[in-house]
Structure 1
Amino acid sequence: MNMNNASLQSKTLQWFTAIACSLFIGGIWHFYPHPSWIISLSVLSLAALYTLNRPFIIVLFFVIFSFFRIHEVFPQLYSLKIPLFLSLGSLTALIWQVGITRQIKLFWCKEFTFLTLFLVIVIVGVIFSSNRLLAIEYFKNIYWKIILMTFAIAILVRTPQQIAFTLKAITIAGALVGIVAIQNKLGGIGLIEGTRVTIGREFGSMLGDPNDLALVLMFPISFAVALLVTHQLPWHHRMIGFIAIPILFWAVIATQSRGGLLGMIAVFGIYGLQRIKSKVLLMTIAVMASGALFVVAGISERVSGGAAEAGIDASAMGRLYAWEAAFKMAVNNPITGVGLDNFYSNYFYYSPHWDGLNHAVHSTWFGVLAETGFLGLSVFISLIVVLIKSANRTLTSVKAVKDEINPAIYASAQAIFAGLIGTIVSGTFLTQGFNWPIYILAALVVAVTKTCEIALNEIEIDTRKSEIQNDSQNDSQNEKNQ
């Protein structure tokens, strides 16, 4: 009865929308009888209807443009304001689906609890930040979008097809950024310290910092590897992974970022851990591969952190000074920290070493500690622990039935767990506590866990039906034999 009522309400809403759009276009035609108006309105109407009925696609593309900075990687797209339109479309579609049609079922989970608690701590920190204008600007321009889209992805991704599309979209976006990075490296464009590749440095892109570029390039590696090694996937999915892996590998090496290299090693290590039984052999391969990677990447040739610097290099000492400053900020502000995006502006007041310049913290953990205090760091670490446990539990459950479950779920479970570990490892040297990667992974952990639960329930139901049917057939056969 409830399903019939819901279906009736949906049809009524569709008829109302169609009649309202027709009357609106008819009114425009009456007052402005020109074909261009009708064509434009028709295109806009179709785009609006597609947006309202496909919120997952719009939200995913907004995340990809925002994180991978596609409009900065390809400056020809910059003037089109694509992220702005995608953000408006995402918000409109979410409000339509959640608030009006109610086609999306909301839920709550432990990950959401810790994420919300951390958000509250960040907001309180913004209010009491040392430079409130900086904190408000970062929250208004970036952070609230990250949080909103985290919840949106977690709620919207519900089918294996959506998961497979997400894997491919993130991998392809990363490969596109990697191709441009390699072109810049080969062409000597935007290099800093003479050897480290960047993108869009001339117009102030986030990817103009090689460490941030390494973070963006490292993130899709786990997705690309999952596409390649999951043999149950169609060949064209695996081909995407096969093409993307060397591109991303080369591009991360070109950044000469130690954090990026460590994260990449961690990702491959997780996949190796699942496939190589001998831990001694795995450790040997990991050590040899790490040494080879650092040689190939030319870390020793870097101006900062290279072999020319005796003892602890300047890059490492800079991080140690920054981490000490972060700890002092938290000691001085244990509950709220210095506030969102306030580490850089407070560096002078807390650093034991001043060289005439403020510096970034270059650590996820110390960044969260400095800007949200000890309380914020505790909640943030709790969130990470919950995510790791959930991702590992999901992967274990999926591996047990990998021949029966949809291969996209198995691939995504591998990718998310490996990507989460890689992000955590690279977080020692890369600042990502208030950036996209951890939050995208958090959303995908929740989404894949929910999708996996649905799939496992279906498998269990099918198994029970099969058992009942077999028992019934056996009983019938026994009766005949008697």
Structure 2
Amino acid sequence: MINILLFLGSYAGGIFYAILASPMFIFAVYQAVYFYNPQNRWWGSSVPNLPYSFIVVVVMGLLFLKSFGKFNQNRLFQIPQFRWMYVLLLLYGIASFYAVLPIGHNQALVFYFKLMVIISIAFKMCESDKDLNIMMYGYIYGAWYISFMAMQKGRNGAGRVEGIGTVDSPDANGLAAAIAPSVVLCLYYFWTASNNKIRLLIAIAGAFIANGIVLINSRGAFLAVALSCGLFMWHMYFSSFQRKYQKAAAVVITLAGLTGAAVIVDKAFIERIYTMTTQSTENVDQESGATRFIFWQSAWEMTKDYPFGNGFQGFNVFAPMYIPEGVDTGESRKRSVHSTWFETLTEIGYVGLFALIMMLYACYRTSNITKRALKERVDVDNYFKVIALQCALLAFVVAMTFMNRMRAEILYWCVLFIACAYNIYVVRYTANQEKASVVKK
């Protein structure tokens, strides 16, 4: 019953707030539907059988059109990472003409196109720091819920949590990657919360998410969280840009985090992490661990023969021709490449991989420009918000290195967050300053 009430309350309440308070709440509802995924939940039959995500997108489109003149001030092509994002979409569309799995590729292309449209509209509608916070809180809320589901479901006989994934992240590793970036955002909001009630809610959400990652037992997600949170705390302690008691807060948060980790980490999780440095004897671990580098080498060799890629799951189709005969791949030799970098390479070729790298580099560059601007304005909280967003994107990049996530929702949410921060704190701020200067003259 609690799942049904949470979903219906979030859905109806979010749309209500989007219409009467801030249109940006509609994207938070979209995020919630992504994580709730009612059609694939055990409680899904207890709610009306409606296309919930489609309804949200329609409402989003109507809200956008209602205030088109205002929202259209946000220029998509002023944002470097968006230009590269559209190049990726274009290359994926071109690959339709030679994809080895044309039906599967076209389905993936339609999903990818819809995602690009939604991300673009969300960017257009994000006008202020408040709007950006709504999106980030929406992500944390969704990550909290799926972690709550992980606790309800519990581990299976293999020590993993399966069967609670999202539409584009149905397996355990993909789900863990989807929530990993939210941990560092929880750290940021816990530190900068304006009151103790918000701080308590963020602490609860962060604890559930961390516990969810432990339960899911994903090595890639563990690395993602460790690196992103470690980098954020390093900036928080060693940065020359400080707010009052910042170093003390960094020490307290670090100690609290380590204490919490000691409480929730169990033997199964420790053993799972230990396999990152050892050879496993289980077939499933051989595929995801010991043989992964061989898959990557095979993907590189494949791309020499197919420099423009082979479309959706191009590696899976031709893998038997490139994976050495002596490699144990289990029941089938048609295996996934287990890396977004090589997934992109084998699906849309060298140019596609270059576009992906440039999209991520543009995020890095624009976020650094944003940090410099905020530092000049002595805006400490938003300066560290941008650092948190950098660390969140880093978390997903680390996780996606070990799985196929080129078209993952969360990757483009992270790109969206950084794009909005750059637009709000640099592009729009500069434009407003120039207008004010003209008025004074």
Structure 2 length as normaliser, TM-score? 0.77
Residues 142-291 of structure 1: pairs in structure 2 closer than 5 A: 142-185=111-154, 188=155, 191=156, 194-200=158-164, 207-231=169-193, 233-277=194-238
The alpha-carbon distance between structure 1 residues 106 and 144, as it changes in their structure 2 partners (threshold 3 A), is same
Q: Distance in 2 between matches of 1:132 and 1:96?
A: 38
1:109-131 CA distance string (max 9 Å, x none):
22222122222111111221111
Structure 1 residues without counterparts, runs of 5 or longer: 1-43, 469-482
Kindly state the Cα deviation for residue 259 of structure 1 after the two structures are TM-superposed. 0.7
- Determine helix, strand or coil for the equivalent of 1:220: helix
Kindly state the Cα deviation for residue 48 of structure 1 after the two structures are TM-superposed. 11
Kindly state the Cα deviation for residue 428 of structure 1 after the two structures are TM-superposed. 1.8
Match of 2:24 among 48, 56, 70: 56
1:235-262 CA distance string (max 9 Å, x none):
3333332111111111111111111001
- Determine helix, strand or coil for the equivalent of 1:199: coil
Q: Distance in 2 between matches of 1:344 and 1:54?
A: 44
Match of 2:310 among 338, 342, 349: 338
Whether the aligned pair in 2 keeps the contact of 1:343 and 1:367 (CA below 8 Å) is yes
Q: Which amino acid aligns with 2:54?
A: L
- Determine helix, strand or coil for the equivalent of 1:298: helix
The alpha-carbon distance between structure 1 residues 343 and 240, as it changes in their structure 2 partners (threshold 3 A), is farther
Whether the aligned pair in 2 keeps the contact of 1:111 and 1:446 (CA below 8 Å) is yes
Q: Distance in 1 between matches of 2:149 and 2:187?
A: 20
The residue number in structure 1 matching 2:8 is none
1:412-439 CA distance string (max 9 Å, x none):
4233111011112222213221111221
- Greater shift after overlay, 450-459 or 172-181? 450-459
Whether the aligned pair in 2 keeps the contact of 1:214 and 1:252 (CA below 8 Å) is yes
Kindly state the Cα deviation for residue 365 of structure 1 after the two structures are TM-superposed. 0.9
Kindly state the Cα deviation for residue 382 of structure 1 after the two structures are TM-superposed. 1.0
Q: Distance in 1 between matches of 2:405 and 2:21?
A: 32
The alpha-carbon distance between structure 1 residues 52 and 376, as it changes in their structure 2 partners (threshold 3 A), is farther
Kindly state the Cα deviation for residue 448 of structure 1 after the two structures are TM-superposed. 0.9
- Determine helix, strand or coil for the equivalent of 2:213: helix
Kindly state the Cα deviation for residue 294 of structure 1 after the two structures are TM-superposed. 8.4
1:383-423 CA distance string (max 9 Å, x none):
11111121233234324545x57x5x446423311101111
- Determine helix, strand or coil for the equivalent of 1:339: coil
Whether the aligned pair in 1 keeps the contact of 2:168 and 2:409 (CA below 8 Å) is no
Residues 105-120 of structure 1: pairs in structure 2 closer than 5 A: 105-107=73-75, 108-109=77-78, 110-120=80-90
The alpha-carbon distance between structure 1 residues 49 and 422, as it changes in their structure 2 partners (threshold 3 A), is closer
Kindly state the Cα deviation for residue 302 of structure 1 after the two structures are TM-superposed. 8.7
Q: Which amino acid aligns with 1:317?
A: A
* Identical-residue share of aligned pairs (%): 16
Structure 2 residues without counterparts, runs of 5 or longer: 1-11, 240-250
The residue number in structure 2 matching 1:19 is none
Is 1:319 the counterpart of 2:292 in the alignment?
A: yes
Whether the aligned pair in 2 keeps the contact of 1:125 and 1:338 (CA below 8 Å) is yes
Match of 1:397 among 373, 377, 385: 373
Q: Distance in 1 between matches of 2:421 and 2:364?
A: 13
The alpha-carbon distance between structure 1 residues 306 and 294, as it changes in their structure 2 partners (threshold 3 A), is farther
Aligned-residue Cα RMSD (Å) equals 4.0
Match of 2:108 among 134, 138, 144: 138
Kindly state the Cα deviation for residue 55 of structure 1 after the two structures are TM-superposed. 4.7
Whether the aligned pair in 1 keeps the contact of 2:74 and 2:423 (CA below 8 Å) is no
Structure 1 length as normaliser, TM-score? 0.71
- Determine helix, strand or coil for the equivalent of 2:49: helix
Q: Distance in 2 between matches of 1:79 and 1:417?
A: 38
Kindly state the Cα deviation for residue 57 of structure 1 after the two structures are TM-superposed. 2.8
The residue number in structure 2 matching 1:424 is 397
Query: Which of structures 1 and 2 has the bigger CA Rg?
Result: 1
Q: Distance in 2 between matches of 1:300 and 1:277?
A: 33
